[in-house]
Structures are given as structure tokens and as C-alpha cells.
């Protein structure tokens, strides 16, 4: 076998299996063209003398490396396997979509014969299919892998090779090194087919693909990722940190981490920020805070929708969750938001509880192993429902409790919401609201501003201090209507999480 050179990750995985001497490898992938070209590349790069690559598909039969038909399509898969069993000398056989035929005992038996024949002889059978199917009889002989999505190097090389194809249709692709790097990064998370599609879409907007095309590529990527996984959504409207009222401790923490993030590759793995868990009372700004992390770190923000995952609309929740996490790893550096991660914990249904347990177990391991540069922000309203391991140090860098805002914070929130609506807060004497907004959430403060503005607009005049004050009588805060639950969450969080702002124990 050739000495180890820099090769894309997918090829590396194939190399490991070849080196381990596994004669039958089942590659689960929808990317048929890509696996074909990876196998040709493997034959050339991973062996001292490149073995021939044969390929079989039901409609074409078995063909040699030169394209000549060796076994006709009519003869069926069994005849193709007979050919393999009689073949002498190193070879790579690529059997496409054999999964249907593998339901026949005849084919399964012949595959087992092929295993005996190929082992130790540098003959490798790669079965590729978008459907993963391993009959019990073959479970020991066959190794099943999921073809990883193309990594940055593969995407960059692909973009370069696409430049020639695009040139034929009059599209010019800038192959300058730094442009290729940026295009490669923008395409991360897509398959090669999807990347090709994204490049063509960008070309239809501007036939000169270069740095100006990046927004198109990213837009296309976000659409494709959403369509493909059904559960990952790109959040476009990021929020500046200044739009969050209060939470000074959280803001300081984020600004410090931003510096670490910017240092990126120079830092050791443990120091690169992994993520935070934000828990707290509904309406106090958890979602708002997450939306500000992307802009604070200058990274794109994606959300994984736990409700969609559990809906079953995208297939088995566990598999959907794992696939979504894997896809996101390809898109690092990015911020990944799991909103209401405790979704479903309270489910009475045993089946759902079991699934959730497995999802959490996967999530916890994944949090430690995931690629660097992917920052996870998880939010939960009922952190006490989460497994203890989730909160333990090491998984998240920090667990924050987003409490009811204190008096100062409420005034800040009020100002922010007035200013956002183009109103100067100074003449409105908002200090008058201090004592009347005790125990209010940020959302309730915002509601007060909106209510006062509505009154003023209906009366066709400017908002006054009294409008604001009058609203306070109309709002019954959550901390009153759900007093026990709010107290329970606060008491629970007191010793277990860091507060986003310094504060005394009671409601202030
Ligand atoms: N600290 C704050 N600063 C400014 N606005 C706030 C703040 N807290 C809440 N708000 C306002 O209230 C709205 C609701 O807050 P948000 O959705 O972030 O709450 P949440 O904690 O995620 O609640 P839930 O648990 O119900 O999802 C925000 O969109 C924002 O307008
Ligand atoms: Mg929220």
C-alpha cells in the first residue's frame, strides 16, 4: 500500500477498511457518482499498482475498467457474483444498488462465497446504495459505513473540477486560491450533487462565479439543508448584543469567548468554546440571547427544531437527530441552537421516553467529540427535567440561568423596546414603572411598551408616561399566575447555574 498522503476524509475511511482487509464493504450513500469516483481514486492512490475497478448495476450488468461488458444485465446479479468468485488478481468491484437483490438467498450465499474467495487476496467488493440493508447471514462478513459528507478539501477540489464543466456553458468560475477556499467553506454541509446545483444556481444569477456569489451559495445551502434534513433552519435575523437588556454577566462571558473564538486554530481543543446551556423562565430572553451569539461571534446561526424531530415527519426521531448533528458538524464554524432541548421529557409515552434517553446519550457524547468551531447554544425552560449528566461541567462551558430581570434590567429592557420603535425614552420618565413592574419578564415589559403605543396611536397622539403607567395595571405577570412553577425553577437554579445578572434571592 502506498505511503499515507493528505487525502480527503472519505477516502481516508475507505483506506482504513482496505488496510483492515475487509473484503466486503457496504457504503450507505445517495451519492452514486461520488462513490464511483472515490473508488477509482482509491484504486489509484491506495495501492502500489492500481487494481482494475469493475462496476455492476442491474441495468448494465458487469463492466470492466474499460467499459466492456463482462456479464450482461440479463444474466442478473448472481452471474456477476460468479464472475467475482472466479476472478484472480487484485481488483475492486463496485456493485451499485445491490440491496434489492440481497433479499434473495441465492445472492446472499454467493456473497458469502465471495467473501471466502476475496479475503487476503486484495480483492474488494464495495456495495453502494442509498438504502442500508444487511441480511443477518452477512452481518459478520460485511462492514457497513455511511459515506461522510465531502469535507472542505473534497469540496474545494470539486469546485475546481466544476470550473471546467461550467466553462463549457459559458460560466467563468474564479479559481483563485482564496476564492476557492471561500466557496469550499460556503458549500460545507452539502453533497457534491447539491454543491453542483448550488454553483449552477449562483451562475444563473451571475455568470462569473466569484466572491460576489457567496451570498447566493449560502442562501442555496440554507434552503437545501432545510429541505434535506427538515429540522435545521438558518436564522438570518441576528441580533446585536446591545439589544438585550441587562444580563451583564452573560454578555461579558460572550465577549470573552469571542476572543477565544477568534484565536481559533492556535488554541488547544479544550479551550475552544464548546457551548452554553441557557435555562430560565419563559419570556426572559433565552431565545433572544441565542440570536445574539451568532452576531457576537461573527458566525452563522442554525437552529435544530426538537419539536420537528419528535413529530416523526422526518422519519425516526433518533436517526433524524443524529443526521442533523452530523450535517451541522460539516458546517462548522457556526453556532448551533437547540431550542427547548427538554422537549418531550415529560412525555408519558414510554416509547418517546426511550427515544429521548437515547437522543440525550448520543448528544452528550457528541458534545465532547464534535468538530471544533461548532458552538452549541441549548435553551431549556425546565432544566430540572434534564438528565444530570447534561448539566455537569465539561459538556457545556457554562450553564446560565436567565432569571426574571431585576429593576435596573427592566428599565433597560423598556428603553430598548421604546428606542427600537423610534421613541426617545428620556421624556417618558420610565422610572415611574420601577415598582409597578416587579416580577415581570422581559416579554411583559415589551408588551407594556407595545400596549402603551397602541393606545397612543389609536388616540392619534404621541405616547406619554401615563400610557405606560396605565398599562401596568392591565398586565398580570407570569410570576403571579404561575407563581409556584416560577419559584420552583428559581430555587432549583440557585445553586446549579450562573445567573446572567447579579441578584438577590427574592423577586425584586
Ligand atoms: N432581556 C431582554 N432584553 C430585551 N428584550 C427582551 C428581554 N427579555 C425578553 N425580551 C423580549 O421578550 C421577547 C421574548 O423573549 P424570548 O423569546 O427570548 O424569551 P424566552 O426566554 O426564549 O422564552 P420561552 O421560554 O417562552 O421561549 C423577546 O423577543 C424580546 O422582545
Ligand atoms: Mg425561547
Separation of CA 376 and ligand 1 centre (Å): 19
406 lines ligand 1 (CB under 6 A): no
Give the CATH number of domain 241-402: 3.40.50.300
Name the band, by pLDDT with cuts 50, 70 and 90, for residue 286: very high
Tell me the mean pLDDT in the region 282-305. 93
> What is residue 269's predicted lDDT score, i.e. its pLDDT?
66
Ligand 1, residue 245: give the atom nearest the CA: 3
Q: In angstroms, what is the span from residue 383 Cα to ligand 2's centroid?
A: 13
Q: Please write down the HEC assignment for all residues of 182-212.
A: HHHHHHCCCCHHHHHHHHHHHHHHCCEECHH
DSSP-assigned letter for residue 173: E
Mutate to test the pocket of ligand 1, among 242, 285, 414 (most ligand atoms within 8 A of CB): 285
pLDDT of res. 349: 61
Q: Which residues surround ligand 2, an ion (CB under 5 A)?
A: 286-287
Tell me what the mean pLDDT of segment 457-476 comes to: 95
Predicted confidence (pLDDT) at residue 360 exceeds the cutoff of 90:
no
**So what's the pLDDT on residue 4?**
47
- For the whole model, what pTM was predicted? 0.79
Under a CB-based contact definition with an 8 Å cutoff, are residues 431 and 411 in contact?
Answer: yes
- Tens of pLDDT, residues 318-331: 889 998 998 898 88
pLDDT for residue 405: 94
- Relative to beta strand 498-499, strand 398-402 is parallel
**Closest ligand to the CA of 486:** 1
Q: What is the mean pLDDT of residues 379-384?
A: 82
What confidence score (pLDDT) does residue 502 get? 82
Residue ranges, comma separated, of all CATH 3.40.50.300 domains in the chain are 9-146, 241-402
Q: Which residue, among 160, 355, 379, has the nearest Cα to 288 in the 3D structure?
A: 379
Q: What is the mean pLDDT of residues 343-368?
A: 75
Classify each residue of 385-417 as buried b or exposed e, where b means 16 or more C-beta atoms within 10 Å of its C-beta. Answer: ebeeebbeeebbbbbbbbbbbbeebbbbbbbbb
Q: Are 505 and 405 in contact (CB under 8 A)?
A: no
CB of 284 closer than 6 angstroms to any ligand 1 atom: yes
Q: Which CATH architecture has domain 9-146?
A: 3-Layer(aba) Sandwich (3.40)
The domain defined by 152-229 carries CATH number 1.10.8: yes
Q: Does domain 407-475 have CATH number 1.10.8.60?
A: yes
Residue nearest to atom 29 of ligand 1 (CA): 288
Decide if pLDDT at 3 tops 50: no
Residue with CA nearest ligand 1 atom 30 = 443
* Sequence-ordered alpha helix ranges (H) in 244-334: 248-263, 286-297, 306-311, 317-330
Confidence of residue 87 (pLDDT cuts 50, 70, 90): very high
Report the chain's terminal Cα–Cα distance, integer Å: 71
Query: 26 pairs with which residues across the strands?
Result: 127, 144
* Long-range contact set of residues 130-133: C-beta below 8 Å, sequence gap at least 24: 130/28, 130/29, 130/30, 130/97, 131/28, 131/99, 132/26, 132/28, 132/99, 133/99, 133/102, 133/103
The pLDDT > 90 percentage for the chain reads 66
Summarize pLDDT for 339-349 with one digit per residue, the tens: 888 875 555 56
The full DSSP string for 91-139 is EEEEEET-TTGGGSHHHHHHHHHHHHHHTTTTEEEEEEESS----GGGT
- Whole-number Å distance between alpha carbons of 116 and 95: 17
Amino acid at each position: 500500500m502506498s505511503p499515507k498522503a493528505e487525502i480527503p476524509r472519505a477516502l481516508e475511511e475507505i483506506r482504513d477498511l482496505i488496510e483492515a482487509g475487509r473484503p466486503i464493504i457496504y457504503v450507505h450513500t445517495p451519492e452514486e457518482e461520488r462513490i464511483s469516483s472515490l473508488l477509482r481514486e482509491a484504486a489509484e492512490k491506495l495501492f502500489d499498482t492500481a487494481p482494475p475497478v469493475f462496476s455492476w448495476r442491474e441495468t448494465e450488468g458487469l463492466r470492466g475498467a474499460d467499459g466492456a461488458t463482462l456479464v450482461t444485465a440479463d444474466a442478473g446479479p448472481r452471474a456477476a457474483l460468479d464472475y467475482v468468485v472466479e476472478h484472480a488478481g487484485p481488483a475492486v468491484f463496485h456493485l451499485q444498488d445491490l440491496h434489492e437483490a440481497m433479499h434473495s438467498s441465492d445472492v446472499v450465499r454467493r456473497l458469502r462465497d465471495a467473501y471466502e474467495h476475496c479475503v487476503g487476496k486484495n480483492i474488494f467488493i464495495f456495495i453502494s446504495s442509498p438504502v442500508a440493508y444487511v441480511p443477518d447471514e452477512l452481518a459478520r462478513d460485511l462492514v457497513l459505513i455511511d459515506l461522510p459528507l465531502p469535507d472542505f478539501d473534497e469540496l474545494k477540489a470539486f469546485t475546481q473540477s466544476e470550473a471546467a464543466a461550467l466553462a463549457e456553458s459559458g460560466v467563468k468560475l474564479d479559481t483563485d486560491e482564496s476564492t476557492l477556499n471561500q466557496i469550499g467553506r460556503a458549500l460545507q454541509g452539502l453533497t457534491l450533487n447539491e454543491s453542483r446545483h448550488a454553483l449552477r444556481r449562483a451562475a444563473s444569477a451571475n455568470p462569473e462565479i466569484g466572491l460576489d456569489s457567496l451570498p447566493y451559495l449560502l442562501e442555496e445551502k440554507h434552503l437545501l439543508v432545510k429541505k434535506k434534513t427538515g429540522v435545521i433552519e438558518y436564522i438570518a435575523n441576528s441580533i446585536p448584543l446591545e439589544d438585550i437588556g441587562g444580563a451583564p454577566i452573560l454578555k461579558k462571558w460572550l465577549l470573552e469567548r469571542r476572543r477565544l473564538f477568534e484565536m481559533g486554530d492556535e488554541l488547544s481543543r479544550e479551550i475552544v468554546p464548546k457551548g452554553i446551556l441557557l435555562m430560565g423562565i419563559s419570556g426572559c430572553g433565552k431565545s433572544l440571547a441565542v440570536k445574539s451569539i451568532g452576531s457576537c461571534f461573527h458566525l452563522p446561526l442554525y437552529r435544530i427544531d426538537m419539536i420537528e424531530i419528535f413529530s416523526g415527519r422526518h422519519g425516526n426521531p433518533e436517526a433524524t437527530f443524529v443526521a442533523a448533528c452530523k450535517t451541522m458538524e460539516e458546517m462548522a464554524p457556526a453556532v448551533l441552537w437547540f431550542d427547548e432541548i427538554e422537549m418531550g421529557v415529560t412525555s408519558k409515552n414510554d416509547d418517546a421516553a426511550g427515544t429521548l434517553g437515547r437522543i440525550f446519550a448520543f448528544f452528550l457524547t457528541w458534545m465532547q467529540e464534535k468538530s471544533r468551531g461548532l458552538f452549541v447554544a441549548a435553551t431549556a425552560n425546565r432544566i430540572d427535567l434534564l438528565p444530570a449528566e447534561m448539566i455537569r461541567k465539561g459538556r457545556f462551558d457554562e450553564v446560565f440561568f436567565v432569571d426574571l430581570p431585576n429593576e435596573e434590567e427592566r428599565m433597560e429592557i423598556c428603553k430598548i423596546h421604546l428606542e427600537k420603535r423610534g421613541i426617545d425614552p428620556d421624556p417618558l420618565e420610565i422610572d415611574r414603572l420601577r415598582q409597578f413592574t416587579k416580577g415581570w419578564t422581559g416579554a411583559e415589559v415589551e408588551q407594556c411598551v407595545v400596549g402603551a403605543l397602541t393606545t397612543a396611536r389609536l388616540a392619534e397622539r404621541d405616547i406619554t408616561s401615563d400610557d405606560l403607567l396605565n398599562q401596568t395595571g392591565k398586565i398580570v405577570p407570569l410570576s403571579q399566575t404561575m407563581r409556584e412553577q416560577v419559584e420552583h425553577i428559581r430555587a432549583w437554579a440557585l445553586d446549579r447555574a450562573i445567573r446572567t445578572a447579579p441578584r438577590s434571592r427574592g423577586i425584586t
